[in-house]
């Protein structure tokens, strides 16, 4: 395909149907993240209980991945987006009105359910409506829109804290963002991907799709899930290692802020490389970067110039994270049937997010059983093993022009 004939990213289609909704959805998530533990502490007075309630946000997402795929395949992307938005808004309202930990936990679970359904619907929509040669940039832009919303969300929650005079006021931000999101999704046009009539929707069999595609899920899915694992372990390790090398809380926060800037600046470049030179260079280089940066964090606690090692490793980790922002979702879209992508994508998301779910537990277990540097070193080894296994998995399962 020549440069002249290569299709461009359909920005006019994506902006109202995916990017603007993703910013609003990301803002709702970003507002919920600090609000949940603060509201739980205010209600229960226990940090341990607050941590358990906050964990329900993830617990609500992972088990709903497969049912979300069925919902999207059965009823379509727009109805699923609206259902997910309604669940998120209802959960936030329930959490705001909660008078007991049980009601608060139920509200947080509903928010997680809504996030799972909305994420599945938007992923399926991009897969069905965007050509493979521009899918990397499209999904990278989607990841960037989420980052923008997640960045704005905590500030909106902070404003709600001030207006309401209590932490649970942040849930009203989630309700407001969900309401605005529902209006946008209801009003925008979702054009048919091929410009023609759609076939009648049949009842999908998500479990059968998972069984039929088990080879690619177990080989490529589990291998590339290491990228997702690394992206989540950094959120825990960067502040912990920062304090262990002698930095105060403010300095650690500044370093993480700088890293977020580096992260955000690279998300679209990763999509450009994925479309032009293939998905493998993006995923492989990200794993190498994650491996080196985790190793650097391990060394930072042992070497005299530990603070400089920490700063350099954090920046490398941010580069790897930003660079790989949409690659896991892009590979899943490449492997899905564009006529009905949701059944496979639900299995793909479940497989690739397992590492994200166990990452906090793995870090805690390794750091507690051995030490924090040992946990960093073990994760560096995991990244190296993933990088070693990735090329053969790509060659086996992904078309040559995409890999």
Work out whether the CA dihedral 38, 42, 48, 49 comes out positive or negative. negative
Does the pLDDT value for residue 340 go beyond 60?
Answer: yes
Looking at the chain, the whole-number percentage of residues with pLDDT higher than 90 is 34
User: DSSP states of 214-278 as a string?
Assistant: HHHIIIIIHHHHHHHHHHHHHHHHHHHHHHHTT--HHHHHHHHHHHHHHHHHHHHHHHHHHHHH-
Q: Tokens for 283?
A: 């995923």
Look at 252 and 86; give whichever has higher pLDDT: 86
224 vs 231: CA distance, rounded Å: 12
Q: How far is CA 23 from the centre of its chain?
A: 13
Torsion of CA 92, 94, 99, 102, to 10 degrees: -90
Residue 236: Cβ-neighbour burial (10 angstroms; 0-12, 13-18, 19+) = middle
Taking the CB of residue 203, how many other CB atoms lie within 10 A of it? Answer: 7
Determine the pLDDT at residue 40.
Answer: 86
pLDDT for res 176? 95
Q: For position 173, what pLDDT does the model report?
A: 93
- pLDDT, residue 203, reads 61
pLDDT band for position 201 (50/70/90)?
A: low
Q: Which tokens hold the place of 145? A: 């829109």
Choose the weakest-confidence range: 204-213, 230-239, 354-363.
354-363
- Residues 128, 193 contacting (CB under 8 angstroms): yes
- 378 burial level (CB within 10 Å; 0-12, 13-18, 19+): middle
More confident residue, 368 or 333: 333
**If pLDDT is split at 50, 70 and 90, which confidence band does 4 have?**
very low
Phi and psi at 338, nearest 5°, equal: -65, -20
**For range 236-241, the mean pLDDT:** 84
pLDDT digits (tens, 9 = 90+) for 158-186: 888 888 888 888 899 999 999 999 999 99
Contact 332, 284 (CB under 8 A): no
Q: pLDDT band for 133, please (50, 70, 90 cuts).
A: confident
Listed range (20-34, 167-181, 208-222, 365-379) with the worst mean pLDDT: 365-379
Predicted confidence (pLDDT) per residue in 286-325, tens digit: 999 999 999 999 999 888 888 899 999 999 999 999 888 8
Q: Look at 5 and 121; give whichever has higher pLDDT.
A: 121
pLDDT higher than threshold 60 for residue 197: no
pLDDT per residue over 26-81, tens digit each? Answer: 999 988 888 888 888 888 887 777 767 877 787 778 788 888 888 988 888 899 99
Of all residues in the chain, the percent with pLDDT exceeding 70 is 94
Structure confidence at residue 195 (pLDDT): 45
CA distance 205 to 111: 26
Give yes or no for residue 188 having a pLDDT over 60.
yes
Q: Which residues contact 319 (CB under 8 A, 6 or more apart)?
A: 262, 263, 266, 289
Could you tell me if residue 56 is left (phi over 0), alpha (psi between -120 and 50 degrees) or otherwise beta? alpha
pLDDT tens digits for 244-293? Answer: 888 887 788 788 888 888 888 888 898 899 888 889 999 999 999 999 99
* Model pLDDT, residue 403: 61
* Mean pLDDT over the full length of the chain: 86
Q: Residue range 145-155: average pLDDT?
A: 87
Only one residue has tokens 């990452």, namely 359
**Are 250 and 123 within 8 A, CB to CB?**
no
Q: Which residues contact 187 (CB under 8 A, 6 or more apart)?
A: none
């Amino acid at each position: 395909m020549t440069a002249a004939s290569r299709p461009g990213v359909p920005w006019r289609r994506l902006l109202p149907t995916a990017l603007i909704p993703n910013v609003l959805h990301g803002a709702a998530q970003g507002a919920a993240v600090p609000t949940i533990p603060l509201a739980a502490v205010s209600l229960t007075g226990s940090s341990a209980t607050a941590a358990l309630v906050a964990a329900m946000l993830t617990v609500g997402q992972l088990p709903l991945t497969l049912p979300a795929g069925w919902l999207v395949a059965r009823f379509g992307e727009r109805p699923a987006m609206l259902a997910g938005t309604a669940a998120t808004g209802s959960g936030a309202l329930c959490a705001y009105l909660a008078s007991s930990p049980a009601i608060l936990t139920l509200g947080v679970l509903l928010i997680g359910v809504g996030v799972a359904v909305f994420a599945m619907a938007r992923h399926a929509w991009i897969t069905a409506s965007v050509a493979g040669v521009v899918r990397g940039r499209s999904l990278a832009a989607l990841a960037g829109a989420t980052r923008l919303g997640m960045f704005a969300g905590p500030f909106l929650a902070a404003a709600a804290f001030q207006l309401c005079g209590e932490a649970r006021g942040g849930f009203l931000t989630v309700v407001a963002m969900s309401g605005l999101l529902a209006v946008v999704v209801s009003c925008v046009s979702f054009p048919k991907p091929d410009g023609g009539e759609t076939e009648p929707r049949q009842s999908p069999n998500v479990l059968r799709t998972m069984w039929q595609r088990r080879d690619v899920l177990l080989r490529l899915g589990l291998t590339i899930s290491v990228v997702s694992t690394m992206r989540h372990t950094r959120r825990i390790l960067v502040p912990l290692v920062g304090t262990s090398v002698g930095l105060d809380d403010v300095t650690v926060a500044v370093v993480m802020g700088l890293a977020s800037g580096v992260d955000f600046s690279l998300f679209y470049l990763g999509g450009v490389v994925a479309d032009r030179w293939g998905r493998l260079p993006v995923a492989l280089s990200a794993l190498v970067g994650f491996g080196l940066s985790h190793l650097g964090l391990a060394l930072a606690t042992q070497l005299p110039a530990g603070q400089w090692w920490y700063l350099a490793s954090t920046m490398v980790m941010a580069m790897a994270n930003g660079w790989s922002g949409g690659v896991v979702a892009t590979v899943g879209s490449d492997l899905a049937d564009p006529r009905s992508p949701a059944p496979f994508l639900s299995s793909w998301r479940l497989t690739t997010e397992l590492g994200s779910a166990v990452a906090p537990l793995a870090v805690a277990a390794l750091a507690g059983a051995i030490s924090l540097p040992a946990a960093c070193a073990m994760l560096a080894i995991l990244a190296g093993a993933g990088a070693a296994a990735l090329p053969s998995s790509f060659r086996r399962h992904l078309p040559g022009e995409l890999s």
